[in-house]
Amino acid sequence: MHYFQYKDGHLHAEDIPVADLVREYGTPLYIYSATTLKRHFKAFDSAFEGIHHLTCYSVKANSNLSLLKILAKEGAGTDIVSGGELFRALRAGVPRNKIVYSGVGKKAVEIQEALLADILMFNVESRQELERINAIAADLDKVARISLRINPDVDPKTHPYISTGLKENKFGLSRPDALETYALAKSLPNVDPIGMDCHIGSQLTKLSPFLEALDRLKAFHGQLLEMGIKIKYLDLGGGLGITYNEEEPPHPEDLGRALVESLKGMDVTLILEPGRVIAGNTGILVAEVQYTKTNEDKTFVIVDAAMNDLVRPSLYGSYHRIAPVKEGNGEQMTADVVGPICESGDFLAKNRTFPKVAQGDLLAAFSAGAYGFVMSSQYNSRPRAAEIMVEGDKHVLIRKREVYNDLVELEEEGLSLIDELQK
Ligand code: LLP
């Protein structure tokens, strides 16, 4: 469910015609719907109403400060994976005691920053990381609250690049290693093992992998109790999929019902780290058709958004629905929708049939709110797109369009130093 609908033949973001926003801000343009965002958060969060829980939105999906601020006001915590995400979460007003820190490669300085911020918990992914956290916490005279990320070896049945809970993935600790590492954690003075964590993958469209992972964690929990470790938090990660095309992922309510049922009798606070299901259908990317052409028997629609703006189709072969901003007369075309970047891998859609467009028309790529802007780059020296947040008939610019100066600003100093180097 989202608030990007056609009214009188024109695509609207809530109550605002998308074409009006383009007139003001140009293309490529990311447009988000605040009402959709809040609705998705509420639908997810309320699915777990029956138990103690904390919904920690996964910042990596979309880290715009304004979007984070809206979610924080709705009561969300955050799942972060870098010092930069911690900085953003705090800047956006996310309470420090609702922040969990995941990721396999936390650097010392990042750990230090998170300890100074006094976040809720580190999700630790290796023995060396645990030892590093303990040492840094000791230096700061603090005790770090931690959980260990367990790799439950469950197949999430999703794209291999975004599967994370199989034993061949780099994430987490195997169950035997995790047991040893919990024993170590118990013996270390500056860490407090208060949780247990896993995340098995992203864009999951079935309930069964979540339940399988939870079953394995529950069995593991029994072993922890035998060791005298009583945890307070069970973090099941994120991963719930959304509909890009014809997928039929479970509704958050189904996930909630199943997990609540399975957790009966366990005295823990459930933490969830949803990203895509909150932000994905909250945003669209709008581009303008620059040219159309037909080579041999293949038609190309060349737009001004490219793989630097939305890399998912190029990187994962992902599907994003593409549709013109102004509804046509019913005539269809089949084409590759491509950007101006000098690689054949630069496409938003391949062999796609959609209402016919011509030079100057606007096209929207749907479901671009998660892993869209955040994965954008300046490749081919293309300034990043602007981002707009709409609510009802009002809107604000939440990130300015980058300008050419943004491309070179950090290189200017080098420009004078390079002459010295070559003297
Ligand atoms: N927690 C952890 C530890 C994660 O690694 C992730 C995503 C999440 C939560 C949020 O998962 P979600 O609810 O969004 O599925 N760039 C890829 C997705 C990568 C996901 C990585 N981890 C894409 O565009 O599909």
Q: How far is the CA of 411 from the centre of ligand 1 (A)?
A: 32
CATH code for residues 4-31+280-409: 2.40.37.10
How sure is the predictor about 163, in pLDDT bands with cuts at 50, 70 and 90? confident
Residue that is written with structure tokens 């959609």 in the block: 354
173: CB partners within 8 A, 6+ apart = 125, 126, 127, 148, 149, 150, 151, 181
Q: How far is the CA of 236 from the centre of ligand 1 (A)?
A: 12
Q: How far is the CA of 59 from the centre of ligand 1 (A)?
A: 9
Across the chain, mean pLDDT equals 96
Q: How far is the CA of 237 from the centre of ligand 1 (A)?
A: 9
Q: Are 64 and 31 in contact (CB under 8 A)?
A: no
Q: Is 399 helix (H, G, I), strand (E, B) or coil?
A: strand
Q: How far is the CA of 196 from the centre of ligand 1 (A)?
A: 18
Atom of ligand 1 nearest to the CA of 203: 15
pLDDT at 169: 79
pLDDT at 330: 92
Structure tokens at 204: 């999951």
Q: Are 35 and 45 in contact (CB under 8 A)?
A: no
Bridge partners for 193 per DSSP: 146
Structure tokens at 9: 């033949």
Q: Is 193 helix (H, G, I), strand (E, B) or coil?
A: strand
Q: Are 346 and 301 in contact (CB under 8 A)?
A: no
Q: Are 324 and 358 in contact (CB under 8 A)?
A: no
Distance, in Å, from the CA atom of 242 to the CA atom of 251, rounded to the nearest integer, reads 9
Residues with CB under 6 A from ligand 1: 58, 60-61, 79, 102, 162, 164, 199, 202-203, 237-240, 273-277, 312, 316, 370-371
pLDDT at 296: 86
Structure tokens at 242: 């959304």
C-alpha closest to that of 200 among 257, 170, 234, 155? 155
Pocket test residue of 206, 276, 309, 374 for ligand 1, highest count of atoms within 8 A of CB: 276
pLDDT, one tens digit per residue, over 380-420 is 999 999 999 999 999 999 999 999 999 999 999 999 899 98
pLDDT, one tens digit per residue, over 184-193 is 999 999 999 9
- H/E segment holding residue 121: strand 121-124
Distance, in Å, from the CA atom of 4 to the CA atom of 362, rounded to the nearest integer, reads 15
- For CA atoms 102, 106, 110, 114, the dihedral sign is positive
pLDDT at 102: 97
C-alpha closest to that of 178 among 119, 214, 124? 124
Tell me the H-state helices in 118-167: 127-139
pLDDT, one tens digit per residue, over 319-353 is 999 999 999 899 999 999 999 999 999 999 999 99
- For CA atoms 46, 194, 208, 161, the dihedral sign is positive
| Mean pLDDT calculated for residue range 365-371 | 98
Closest Cα to atom 24 of ligand 1: 371
Q: How far is the CA of 274 from the centre of ligand 1 (A)?
A: 8
Bridge partners for 6 per DSSP: 11
pLDDT, one tens digit per residue, over 4-38 is 999 999 999 999 999 999 999 999 999 999 999 99
Q: Is 272 helix (H, G, I), strand (E, B) or coil?
A: strand
Closest Cα to atom 7 of ligand 1: 202
Give me the DSSP letters along 40-104. HHHHHHHTTTTS-EEEEEEGGG---HHHHHHHHHTT-EEEE-SHHHHHHHHHTT--GGGEEE--T
Distance, in Å, from the CA atom of 229 to the CA atom of 184, rounded to the nearest integer, reads 11
Atom of ligand 1 nearest to the CA of 375: 16
How sure is the predictor about 166, in pLDDT bands with cuts at 50, 70 and 90? confident
Distance, in Å, from the CA atom of 268 to the CA atom of 231, rounded to the nearest integer, reads 7
pLDDT, one tens digit per residue, over 196-234 is 999 999 999 999 999 999 999 999 999 999 999 999 999
Taking 90 as the threshold, does the pLDDT of residue 248 lie above it? yes
Pocket test residue of 40, 45, 57, 58 for ligand 1, highest count of atoms within 8 A of CB: 58
Distance, in Å, from the CA atom of 127 to the CA atom of 143, rounded to the nearest integer, reads 17
Atom of ligand 1 nearest to the CA of 371: 24
Taking 80 as the threshold, does the pLDDT of residue 167 lie above it? no
How sure is the predictor about 76, in pLDDT bands with cuts at 50, 70 and 90? very high
CATH code for residues 34-276: 3.20.20.10
What are the boundaries of each domain within the chain? 4-31+280-409, 34-276
Q: How far is the CA of 222 from the centre of ligand 1 (A)?
A: 28
Atom of ligand 1 nearest to the CA of 159: 25
Atom of ligand 1 nearest to the CA of 315: 24
Ranges 73-82, 159-168, 332-341: which has the least confidence: 159-168
229: CB partners within 8 A, 6+ apart = 182, 186, 193
DSSP annotation of 138 reads H
How sure is the predictor about 156, in pLDDT bands with cuts at 50, 70 and 90? confident
pLDDT at 25: 98
| Mean pLDDT calculated for residue range 274-303 | 97
C-alpha closest to that of 21 among 283, 395, 365, 403? 395
241: CB partners within 8 A, 6+ apart = 158, 202, 203, 204, 205, 247, 249, 276, 277
Active-site residue list: 342
- For CA atoms 201, 202, 206, 207, the dihedral sign is positive
| Mean pLDDT calculated for residue range 240-254 | 97
